[in-house]
Amino acid sequence: MINRQRLAETFMALVAIDSESREESGISDEIRQMLSPVAFEMHIDKAGEKVGGNTGNLIVKIQGNTKVPPLMLNAHMDTVTPGKGIRPRFENGVFTSDGTTVLGADDKSAVAVIIEVAQLLHENNLPHGPVELVFTICEEIGLMGAKNLDFGLISAKYGYALDTADTEVIVTRAPSANRMEFLVHGRDAHAGADPEKGINAILLASKAIAGLALGRIDHETTCNIGVIEGRGASNIVPNLVQIKGEARSHDDAKLETVTRNMAAAFEGAIADYKQIHGDGPLPRVDVHIENDFRRTHIPEDHPVVVLARQAAANLGRTLASKTTGGGADANVFFQKGIITGVIGTGMRDIHTVRESIRLDDMVKTAELLLEIIDLHSKGSHRS
């Protein structure tokens, strides 16, 4: 039933539209045009104004023809850089870019699949309940679209985000994450004439980082330092260095412990210096900690999982539950009471210029969604 040629053409058209984070208005306009024949309602919320973007989240509601609760489908409209001037290629069933940009399969493959499914529901008058399509902005820069979504426009209590690679899994567990910024303040001085008068902020930060356990802490927990930025010149003792990092865990108590340990390492480096050189206003460290997103944990008997697995079985496939270390819009929806499983579209090597996706995988995802919607229309939403 899937119109392979149309799906391919839709995807090619979408990826050719520039839509790096905060610049999604063009693709939002195209999605609205493609879905206008099937939409009952369309809304653009105020998220763009809150994040400095040129449009908000796009919510498209499709009226159901069966009396079941609404189902949500989600994809994000933005891409990472380099994502301008994408020139898609399609050879031997595989989409790629020309090698100078990302392809944008993350997440425009999901957008294309959702559009194809919506068109098929309309053209064939297939049985379906109300469907709420949520196309978010700024997912790639911290789930900012979802975090600022007008949830008053959403009535669904469960659904699916299409934002992972593997087409044979449903992500049911994802971690909580904290973002951290440490500003280490020292004292500047001429590095050749008066180094004794300086306090090297980079040296203090390096001692703190050297004392950290980074990477995988255990099977549930990771932490990372991703940015170290100092300012000045090589002949100046640096008086400021900025460090950015994160911690993630499926156990919130472990997340708190790792976060606290990371902060303590920087505070300890400052305390050690003062113990040797005497107390004073410098050096010091400013610690900023912010929760990025909360964990998800969907029970195996929840309708989101039951529906997806039964749909896969009806198609002669299996769908395994997966625990991931990444975050998605689904984390934000989960926190707002919308239980959201994450399913894959087949995207590969995302966030690189080698990104690719097979049309066959996109077709598989579209078939799965259609089967999920059909089961849902029959009341198979009940656990």
Domain boundary among 266, 293, 320: 293
Q: Which two tokens stand for residue 359?
A: 């049309």
* pLDDT at 383 exceeding the cut of 50: no
**Is residue 37 domain-shared with residue 164, that is, in the same domain?**
yes
Cα(373)–Cα(358) distance, integer angstroms: 23
CATH of the domain at 196: 3.30.70.360
**In which residue are the tokens 């059909």 written?**
374
Q: For the chain, what is the mean pLDDT?
A: 97
Domain boundary among 293, 313, 334: 293
Split at pLDDT 50, 70, 90, the class of 380 is low
Q: Is 78 a catalytic residue?
A: yes
**Is residue 189 domain-shared with residue 320, that is, in the same domain?**
no
**Is residue 128 domain-shared with residue 143, that is, in the same domain?**
yes
Q: Is residue 305 part of a domain?
A: yes
Q: Is residue 383 part of a domain?
A: no
**Is residue 82 domain-shared with residue 154, that is, in the same domain?**
yes
Inter-helix orientation angle 359-377/105-123, to 10°:
50
Q: Is residue 289 part of a domain?
A: yes
Please write the tens of the pLDDT for every residue from 221-230.
Answer: 999 999 999 9
From the list 24, 106, 116, 139, the catalytic residue is: 139
**Is residue 283 domain-shared with residue 304, that is, in the same domain?**
no
Q: Is residue 274 part of a domain?
A: yes
**In which residue are the tokens 């000045």 written?**
232
Q: Is residue 364 part of a domain?
A: yes
Cα(65)–Cα(121) distance, integer angstroms: 10
Q: Which two tokens stand for residue 269?
A: 């480096």
**Is residue 52 domain-shared with residue 155, that is, in the same domain?**
yes
Domain boundary among 293, 328, 355: 293
Question: How do beta strands 240-249 and 176-185 pair?
Answer: antiparallel
Question: How do beta strands 89-91 and 94-96 pair?
Answer: antiparallel
**Is residue 91 domain-shared with residue 169, that is, in the same domain?**
yes
**Is residue 66 domain-shared with residue 147, that is, in the same domain?**
yes
Please write the tens of the pLDDT for every residue from 54-112.
Answer: 999 999 999 999 999 999 999 999 999 999 999 999 999 999 999 999 999 999 999 99
CATH of the domain at 45: 3.40.630.10
Q: Is residue 191 part of a domain?
A: yes
Expressed as residue numbers, the domain containing 307 is 4-174+295-377
Element (H, E) at 11: helix 4-15
Q: Is 355 a catalytic residue?
A: no
From the list 20, 23, 24, 78, the catalytic residue is: 78
359, 364, 366, 370: CA torsion to nearest 10: 160
**Is residue 87 domain-shared with residue 232, that is, in the same domain?**
no
Q: Is residue 311 part of a domain?
A: yes
pLDDT at position 231 is 83
Dihedral sign, Cα of residue 342, residue 1, residue 316, residue 304:
positive
**Is residue 120 domain-shared with residue 140, that is, in the same domain?**
yes
The domain tally of the chain equals: 2
Q: Is residue 244 part of a domain?
A: yes
**Is residue 281 domain-shared with residue 303, that is, in the same domain?**
no
Cα–Cα distances in angstroms (integers) from residue 114 to residues 2, 121, 134, 216, 220, in the given order? 12, 11, 10, 35, 32
The SS3 call for residue 289 is strand
* pLDDT at 150 exceeding the cut of 60: yes
**Is residue 203 domain-shared with residue 337, that is, in the same domain?**
no
Instruction: State the pTM of this model.
Output: 0.93
